[in-house]
Amino acid sequence: FLLLGPPGAGKGTQSAIIARRTGVARISTGEMLRDAIARQTPLGAQVAPLMERGSLVPDSLLVALIAERVTEPDCTNGLLLDGFPRTVNQAEALDLLVQERQMELVVLNFDVPREVLLRRLSGRRWCPRCQATYHLENSPPKRTGLCDQCGSSLIQRADDQEDVVARRLQAYDAQTVPVI
Ligand code: ADP
Ligand code: ZN
User: Is 157 marked active-site?
Assistant: yes
pLDDT confidence of 75, banded at 50, 70, 90? Answer: very high
Q: Which residues line ligand 1 (CB under 6 A)?
A: 7-8, 11, 29-30, 33, 50-51, 54-57, 62, 83-84, 86, 90, 159, 168
Contact status, residue 40 vs residue 145, Cβ threshold 8 Å: no
**pTM recorded for the entire structure:** 0.90
Q: Given the residues 11, 34, 120, 125, select the one marked as catalytic.
A: 11
- Residue 67 pLDDT > 90, yes or no? yes
pLDDT above 90 for 77: no
**Tens digits of per-residue pLDDT, 126-139?**
999 999 999 999 99
pLDDT of residue 79: 95
Mean pLDDT, rounded, for 1-11: 94
Three-state secondary structure call for residue 37: helix
Asked whether the predicted pLDDT for residue 149 surpasses 90, the reply is yes
Residue range 29-42, pLDDT digits in tens? 999 999 999 999 99
Q: Which pLDDT score is estimated for 47? A: 96
124 noted as active-site residue: yes
For 30, residues 6+ apart whose C-beta sits below 8 A from its C-beta are: 12, 82, 83
